[in-house]
């Protein structure tokens, strides 16, 4: 929790300073539908600042927006992560994006969207920036044991079907290592801090959207293949873990991921417990 509070305070101060100085919030302006390489996600809107791209996309979805809406912001002032934690990226240096999806999945499998987005982000970082990132269940992107970014999936479920979902990604891209506050330097990082140079945010985002379309199709048509690929790239598997869930804390060995995208934890009785949501508070 300290990570979130410190990061919000520092990022908000810098955001306000830049706003007073009249600085640009770092728009990703050269994103065009025809350049994305995605037929499914082509309705792209870019704004300099918003409260939360996920909140905006949810509102648009409830108003009847079609699948394919992609909302991109240069800065967020009320960004959200899992468990209602605040998320504010470094203004002008982050990827802050939400995608409206109407997946061909039943409600029990919507967590596969987070799996698909995580794999897409990993592929994009490798292809567009030359960085090999790890995936930490359920929704984090890591490098060297430190957090690069995260995925937030929010779903609107009808009586027995998925009406629509919003998949948001927040990724620290150009945040120099020297600018990362000491309080969080051991747990947070960025693409530029890992590479020692700035990365092309537009190229990463275009690659993410194209790869997300591919992985989403796999989730809909061959979910077992998607899960197999995720397990091969998930740093959580094989580790001792402690997971805080609504029903209490579960400790054990992360033995795998099931067909719903749930983490399987082998407890002290050697029985697998399937966890669909929780806060991975410790793994080693």
State the helix-helix crossing angle for 201-221 and 223-233, rounded to 10 degrees. 130
By three-state DSSP, how is residue 13 classified? helix
Which spans in the chain are helix H?
2-20, 33-36, 53-62, 111-129, 191-195, 201-221, 223-233
pLDDT for position 271 = 81
Q: How far apart, in whole angstroms, are the C-alpha atoms of residue 124 and residue 283?
A: 26
β pairing state of 69-76 and 43-50: parallel
Q: How far apart, in whole angstroms, are the C-alpha atoms of residue 198 and residue 93?
A: 9
CB burial of 256-269 (b: ≥16 within 10 Å; e: otherwise) equals bbeebbbbbbeeee
| 254-260-266 Cα angle (round to 5) | 20
More confident position, 117 or 85: 117
Structural domains in the chain? 2-232 (3.30.930.10), 236-283 (2.30.30.100)
Q: Which helix (H) or strand (E) holds 50?
A: strand 43-50
State the helix-helix crossing angle for 111-129 and 223-233, rounded to 10 degrees. 60
Q: Exposed, middle or buried, 178 (CB in 10 Å: 0-12/13-18/19+)?
A: exposed
Q: Exposed, middle or buried, 132 (CB in 10 Å: 0-12/13-18/19+)?
A: exposed
pTM of the model: 0.86
Q: Convert the pLDDT of each residue in 136-166 to its tens digit.
A: 999 999 999 999 999 999 999 998 899 999 9
Is residue 8 predicted with pLDDT exceeding 80? Answer: no
Q: Convert the pLDDT of each residue in 107-140 to its tens digit.
A: 999 999 999 999 999 999 999 999 999 999 999 9
> What's the Cα-to-Cα distance from 188 to each of 94, 121, 254, rounded to whole Å?
13, 17, 23
Q: Convert the pLDDT of each residue in 24-41 to its tens digit.
A: 445 565 666 556 667 899
């Amino acid at each position: 929790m300290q990570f979130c509070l410190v990061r919000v305070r520092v990022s908000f101060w810098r955001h306000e300073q830049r706003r007073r100085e009249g600085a640009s919030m770092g728009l990703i302006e050269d994103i065009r539908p025809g350049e994305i390489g995605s037929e499914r996600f082509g309705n792209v809107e870019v704004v300099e600042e918003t409260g939360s791209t996920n909140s905006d996309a949810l509102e648009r979805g409830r108003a009847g927006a079609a699948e394919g809406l992609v909302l991109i912001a240069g800065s967020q002032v009320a960004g959200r992560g899992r468990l209602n934690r605040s998320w504010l990226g470094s203004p002008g240096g982050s990827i802050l994006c939400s995608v409206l999806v109407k997946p061909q999945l039943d409600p029990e499998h919507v967590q596969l969207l987070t799996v698909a987005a995580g794999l897409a982000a990993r592929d994009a970082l490798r292809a567009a920036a030359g960085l090999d990132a790890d995936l930490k269940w359920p929704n984090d992107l890591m490098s060297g044991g430190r957090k690069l970014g995260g995925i937030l999936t929010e779903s609107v479920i009808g009586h027995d079907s998925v009406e629509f979902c919003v998949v948001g990604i927040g990724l620290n891209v150009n945040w120099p290592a020297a600018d990362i506050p000491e309080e969080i330097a051991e747990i947070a990082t960025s693409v530029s801090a890992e590479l020692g140079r700035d990365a092309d945010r537009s190229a990463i985002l275009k690659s993410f959207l194209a790869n997300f379309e591919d992985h989403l199709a796999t989730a809909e048509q061959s979910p077992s293949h998607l899960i197999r690929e995720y397990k091969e790239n998930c740093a959580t598997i094989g580790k001792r873990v402690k997971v805080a869930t609504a029903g209490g804390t579960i400790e054990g060995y992360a033995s795998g991921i099931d067909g719903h995208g749930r983490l399987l934890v082998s407890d002290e009785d050697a029985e697998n417990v399937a966890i669909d949501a929780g806060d991975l508070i410790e793994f080693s």
